[in-house]
Amino acid sequence: MSNRIGHSLNITSFGESHGNMVGVVIDGFPAAIPIDLDFIQSELNRRRPGQSDITSARNESDAFTIVSGVFNGLSTGAPICIQIPNQSQISKDYEPLKNVYRPGHADKVYDEKYGHRDYLGGGRSSARITAAWVAAAAIFKSYLLNKEGIKIQAVVSAVGDISVKDIFNMDWSQAESNPVRCPNLQTANQIEELIKKTALEGDSLGGIISCKVSNCPSGLGEPVFDKLNADLAKAIFSINAVKGIEFGAGFNGSKHKGSENNDAPNSTMNNDGGITAGISNGKDILFNTAFKPVSSIAKEQMAEYINGDIAPLQITGRHDPCVLPRAVPIVEAMTALVVCDHLLLNLKYKK
């Protein structure tokens, strides 16, 4: 099982949904960098369950502990290990599911690959493990912003059939003022009502998270096989429920002529989304990420059982009707990891 990602800077992820804890080991982070504990907790609070009435009722405090790699508030250059205890898991909710493969989940493919699986909350396949990624990336985000002036922000731009038009050309300052994390407040209210309505129906919703990396320098990326957009895509696809990613003009660019799609010199055009030939070009990095609807729903659906039977299933327990609001900091986290990794990797080319 692959649990490590990154080049010069990397993280190793560990833990399960209903285990004692989830955590991460950071390796390759520079020494003598201030570690802001309050900022780490604030980032975890953005991702944590139970933060609003449109998220899972699982109420984890996500209080973390750094057990190595930090001394007197500064990184030492040694591996940084962060642990986050699981305190609100209700394992009995999953006992009725141990002999069934939940539709849309990793249950069956884990059994087929490993011959054994942790059925409590999905075990290692649970989005619970992303809490540790967010904690690690809080360190990277601080470093990028305070040392390099690089800002990373993601927002919800669509849920179901409700979307914000021209998302990258609007002000994102109000995104954190509402539980949906959508920068357009009118659209945010519409999305919130749609999520509540869908939850009452026992169903779920997917949507799109848009991400922007501002003030990113040119020259980041390692062609041919470690292009910046390729590494970003890999990191983003590591997030549960992600089904697609597009940079800049994305799929719409396939409808353009070359004369329309090529970014003109000294212009604000950014069809490349800030990355040309796999290398950052100095413009804002822009991408959209598509999330599928949450697979755990109360609405009855057909499911396959371990003995081969196909029968109706209703899933109980505590689940997000729409994962997007809590996935915003996770998208930011994996983006920060890749950008910080390539920034440090690029130092070998500088005198």
27-42 pLDDT, tens digit per residue, is: 999 999 999 999 999 9
What are the residue ranges of helices labelled H in 246-345? 258-261, 324-345
Helix 37-47 with 130-148: angle, nearest 10 deg: 130
At residue 1 the predicted structure's pLDDT band, cuts being 50, 70 and 90, is: confident
Residue 205 DSSP symbol? B
pLDDT at 292: 97
pLDDT at residue number 351:
58
Instruction: Give residue-wise pLDDT tens across range 85-144.
Output: 998 766 677 777 888 999 998 889 999 999 988 888 787 889 999 999 999 999 999 999
Residue 61, φ and ψ in degrees, nearest 5? -75, -25
Model pLDDT, residue 347:
86
Condensed to tens digits (0 to 9), the pLDDT of residues 215-233 reads 999 999 999 999 999 999 9
Residue 79 CB neighbour total at 10 angstroms: 15
Pairing of strands 285-291, 242-247: antiparallel
Nearest to 67 by CA among 1, 142, 2, 132: 132
Q: What pLDDT score does 97 carry?
A: 80
Taking only the tens place, the pLDDT of each residue in 151-210 is: 999 999 999 999 999 999 999 999 999 999 999 999 999 999 999 999 999 999 999 999
Rounded average pLDDT over 308-314: 89
Higher pLDDT: 49 or 346? It is: 346
User: What's the topology of domain 4-349?
Assistant: Chorismate synthase, AroC fold (3.60.150)
Residue with tokens 């309505």: 197
In this predicted model, what pLDDT tens digit does every residue of 262-307 receive, in sequence order? 999 989 999 999 999 999 999 999 999 999 999 988 899 999 998 8
Q: For the whole model, what pTM was predicted?
A: 0.95
80 and 15 in contact (C-beta within 8 Å)? Answer: no
> Under DSSP, is residue 301 helix (H, G, I), strand (E, B) or coil?
strand
Report the DSSP beta bridge partners of residue 14: 23
- The residue with greater pLDDT, 214 or 18, is 214
274: Cβ–Cβ under 8 A, 6 or more apart, which residues?
Answer: 213, 216, 247, 248, 280, 281, 282, 283, 284, 285, 286
Close Cβ partners of 338 (under 8 Å, ≥ 6 residues apart): 6, 228, 231, 232, 235
pLDDT at 58: 58
Distances (CA, A) of 12 to 3, 129, 276, 328: 6, 11, 29, 21
Please give the DSSP secondary-structure letter assigned to residue 226: B
Report CA torsion sign: 87, 119, 289, 170: negative
Q: If residue 29 lies in a helix (H) or strand (E), which one and from where to where? A: none
pLDDT of residue 121: 76
Predicted confidence at residue 179, as pLDDT, reads 95
Report the chain's terminal Cα–Cα distance, integer Å. 38
Check if the beta carbon of residue 180 is closer than 8 Å to that of residue 216: no
Q: What is the pLDDT of residues 235-252, one digit of tens each?
A: 999 999 999 999 999 999
Q: What residues does each domain of the chain span? A: 4-349
* Residue whose tokens read 């970003």: 232
Q: Does residue 348 carry a pLDDT above 90?
A: no
Q: What confidence tier does 19 reach under pLDDT thresholds 50, 70, 90?
A: confident
Return the structure tokens found at 4: 């490590």
| Alpha carbon distances (Å) from 72 to 37, 38, 84, 266 | 12, 15, 21, 46
